[in-house]
Chain A
């Protein structure tokens, strides 16, 4: 069964509306990440977390907030959605331990802001 899940899988939002993307992982990983994927840019890091209660800014945090209420859950929040935030969003989890340094990705959420 999938260890990283995202909801919703598809979302259509209106400009100026609030959007919350949710991610849940059952890997018991400390680290969690939010990326967006756009053509020509690959995966760009928005926010990440190294444990419950922590959130850190990635490379493109403007317009996004993150929340990590528990080890398992990590949310991405768009308070005032804009059309430029139309993208595919991926959540990932990982451990810090050097022996298990890779990330495990969720299936992605396709967000369209009209």
Chain B
């Protein structure tokens, strides 16, 4: 158990819909990361927050947005869903930022768009 909690674990929704994925970081961790993993794209970095502020942005679509709340939990909002958005979405957390930090991953949220 990494200490990172993600909900829901599985989600099936229709194209055009909107979903919200939730993440609680490890106790004491200030940084939250979101990754998307699909068979053809591997593990792709989406966005990172540190202590409530956006710190880095990766390959995140405009239809996607995220935020980190004062209690440090984070949400990833996916809207106007397309079939290609079907993937495993991971949240991860670390205490700080930068290359010296260990990142701990949650078990992921499986999203299937039909």
Q: Do A and B come from one complex?
A: no
Task: Give the interface of A toward B (CB within 8 A).
Answer: none
